[in-house]
Amino acid sequence: MKLAFIGSGIMGEPMCGHLLAGGHAVALHSRTKSKAERLIAAGATWCDSPADAARDADIIFVNVPDTPDVGKVLLGVNGVIESARPGTIAIDHSTISPTATREMASKLAAKQVTLLDAPVSGGDVGAKNATLSIMVGGDKAAFDRALPLLQLLGKTITYAGRSGNGQLTKLVNQILVSVTNLAVSEAMNFAQQSGLDAAATIQAVGGGAAGSWQLQNLGPKMLKGDFTPGFMIDLQQKDLRLVLESAKELNLSLRAVALVSDLFATAQSRGWGREGTQALFKTIGRSDWP
Amino acid sequence: MKLAFIGSGIMGEPMCGHLLAGGHAVALHSRTKSKAERLIAAGATWCDSPADAARDADIIFVNVPDTPDVGKVLLGVNGVIESARPGTIAIDHSTISPTATREMASKLAAKQVTLLDAPVSGGDVGAKNATLSIMVGGDKAAFDRALPLLQLLGKTITYAGRSGNGQLTKLVNQILVSVTNLAVSEAMNFAQQSGLDAAATIQAVGGGAAGSWQLQNLGPKMLKGDFTPGFMIDLQQKDLRLVLESAKELNLSLRAVALVSDLFATAQSRGWGREGTQALFKTIGRSDWP
């Protein structure tokens, strides 16, 4: 199958690498050519625009930062829509607005191009090890056709229903991740400040109703003062903005998400935007963190 | 060993039953004698006051609702302090103020009575099945002496350090439980209102960084509209009041706990105080719940 890949950032590069390693021809475009060099060396064919990359492709993968970037790549000047043939599938792995996704899908559908929204979770480690979770919205037949390729990229691949539902599922994931992180941050500050052995406290309570992935994985990092990013606050903030925008469209009040987002803004103002989300711990805690 | 047991409520009754079943003589007092009848039939000896129950005991168990109740039982008129012999251990399974616990421990210590604070988690089911988690603060030698008895009551028994640390550990547990519950409540409302198959969404995201006990156990109940109590909102509120009081003593801001407590107050005002904590889901959601 002829593939196109657009975006060779921290997630896109290893994902594109897995497709190449799977024996597929890949036409590659990236905003910054220098970031594509390793993939070109691995056999990808460089293209000067999304339209060039998409021209001969059966399936087009997109992995760029945010909603406007996806809009430009798919629908803009020299975008996918200018060259993609009828019957092509576009798979967007970026985390972007569910509503914008549906609008783009309908514009592409007018050219018989099927858009699948397929945001991922699992971070750069998941991308490197092909252990990502991928949540997919859009036409089921297109999903079935794309599935063997998605299985080169991730481990848990879920079909979530109509266009936009992959994005919505990812946003549910981000609500859970961020508010549970706040639970752990408050609990670890309370444990530490009250004089408990906070690491032993995780052991004592983590196996029961208080347990979570965030507690087991971020709790110990908080206590060690290890704020190296598994997932960066700046990126989490982008996703929470999408959550709050969607909640507004639904007339839904998400006070805990709004609170976390506000606290992450404080973290960003203190220069911690590129630290891991576990830096929420120090954001709400003692005032003497560097 | 001669035991005393004070309090035969929803938790105390099955716990006292395990001690009797373990072959121990138990002198029993309870505020309401009728609630003690099954235990008396099972071999407990009725006593008219905490002082009477404590008179010949080596170890005294207390399981009553709140801080003032424990204060009355231990230090009040006809309380434990009036009759307990030097060398006796008092084990308080109630969830109460860590600070008050330390004050009571020091008053009892003046009479050579050692107080262990040993709040439990696991609910009435855990009490019945002797699978409670028990978090213990106080003198280590007294803990070691009491351990074989605690093992009749629970499965995970943790020594948390000095007096009050059992209570503090329980409060850390309640911070995690309640704020993670809020994460799940917001996520499930978002999933449902946005048109996702919310049960399938739990499957899709629950195995990764979004996963928690609360999601796996309370999420499905929320979606089914099953608000029968595993743990009642009224009791959760009492524990969150203790958390917020302790946080105030520590000059620690716990905004998410304050938010959950505020939302639970709304639930109580709507008549849902005796429903399970998963009723937080409907408290923040659609306005048409009965």
Residues B185-213 have a mean pLDDT of 96
Return the biggest CA–CA distance within chain A. Answer: 65
Contact by Cβ (8 Å): A113, A62:
no
Q: pLDDT tier at B289 (50, 70, 90 boundaries)?
A: confident
Q: Best residue in B134, B171, B190 to probe A by mutation, most A CBs within 10 Å?
A: B190
| Residue tagged 């998605």 (tokens) | A150
Kindly report the three-state secondary structure assignment for every residue of B29-61: ECCCHHHHHHHHHCCCEECCCHHHHHCCCCEEE
Q: How confident is the model at residue A107 (pLDDT cuts 50, 70, 90)?
A: very high
User: Which chain A residues have a beta carbon less than 8 Å from that of B176?
Assistant: 183-184, 187, 205, 210-212, 215
pLDDT at B288 over 80: no
Burial class (CB in 10 A: 0-12, 13-18, 19+), A77: exposed
CA distance B124 to B13: 10
The answer to whether the CB of A133 falls within 8 A of the CB of A101 is no
Evaluate whether A53 touches A47 at the Cβ level (below 8 Å). Answer: yes
Residue B68's pLDDT band (cuts 50, 70, 90): very high
Confidence category of residue A222, pLDDT binned at 50, 70, 90: very high
List of residues 6+ apart from A237 with CB closer than 8 A: A261, A264, A265, A268, A273
Q: Return the SS3 of A27.
A: strand
Kindly give, in sequence order, each residue whose CB lies less than 8 Å from that of residue B1, ignoring residues fewer than 6 positions away: B24, B58, B59, B149
The predicted model scores a pTM of 0.95
DSSP codes of every residue in A118-166: --EESHHHHHHHT-EEEEEES-HHHHHHHHHHHTTTEEEEEEEESTTHH
Per the prediction, chain A carries an average pLDDT of 97
Distance from CA of A138 to the nearest CA of B (A): 13
Token pair of B287 as six digits: 């306005």
How far is the C-alpha of B107 from the C-alpha of A82, rounded, in Å?
82
CA-based max dimension of chain B: 65
Tell me whether residues A156 and B255 touch, CB distance under 8 A: no
**CA dihedral (B121, B127, B132, B135) positive or negative:** positive
Average pLDDT, chain B: 97
Distance separating alpha carbons of residues A9 and B178, to the nearest angstrom: 38
Give residue B221's pLDDT. 98
Per-residue confidence (pLDDT) for residue B60, from 0 to 100: 98
Percent of chain B with pLDDT over 90: 96
Is residue B140 annotated as a catalytic residue, yes or no?
A: no
Average pLDDT over residues A240-260: 97
pLDDT tens column, B154-180: 999 999 999 999 999 999 999 999 999
Query: How high is the pLDDT of residue A13?
Result: 97
B245 falls in which pLDDT band (50, 70, 90)? Answer: very high
What's the rounded mean pLDDT across residues B26-52? 97
Per-residue pLDDT, averaged over A1-21, amounts to 96
Q: How far apart are CA A55 and CA A1, in angstroms?
A: 13
Pairing state between β A114-117 and A89-92: parallel
pLDDT at res. B286: 79
pLDDT value of residue B35: 94
* Terminal Cα distance for chain A, rounded: 51
Among the options B107, B170, B224, B238, which is catalytic?
Answer: B170
Chain B residues lying within 8 Å of A158, measured CB to CB: 200, 203-204
Looking at residues B59-67, what average pLDDT do you find? 97
**Residue A11: pLDDT over 90:** yes
Rg of chain B (C-alpha set) = 20
What would the 3-class secondary structure string for chain B be?
A: CEEEEECCCCCHHHHHHHHHHCCCEEEEECCCHHHHHHHHHCCCEECCCHHHHHCCCCEEEECCCCHHHHHHHHHCCCCHHHCCCCCCEEEECCCCCHHHHHHHHHHHHCCCCEEEECCEECHHHHHHHCCEEEEEECCHHHHHHHHHHHCCCEEEEEEEECCCHHHHHHHHHHHHHHHHHHHHHHHHHHHHHCCCCHHHHHHHHCCCCCCEHHHHHHHHHHHHCCCCCCCEHHHHHHHHHHHHHHHHHCCCCCHHHHHHHHHHHHHHHCCCCCCEHHHHHHHCCCCCCC
Convert the pLDDT of each residue in A126-142 to its tens digit: 999 999 999 999 999 99
* Angstrom distance (rounded) from CA A174 to CA A254: 12
d(CA A108, CA A233): 33
Structure tokens at A65: 């930062």
Neighbours of A271 (CB within 10 A): 9
Distance from CA of A35 to the nearest CA of B (A): 29
Average confidence (pLDDT) over A227-255: 96
Give me the domains of chain A, ranges plus CATH numbers: 2-163 (3.40.50.720), 170-283 (1.10.1040.10)
Residues pairing with A89 in the sheet: A59, A114
Q: Do B252 and A190 touch (CB under 8 A)?
A: yes
SS3 of residue A28 by DSSP: strand
What pLDDT does A288 receive?
Answer: 75
Residues of B in contact with A124 (CB under 8 A): none
In the chain, the amino acid numbered B97 is: S
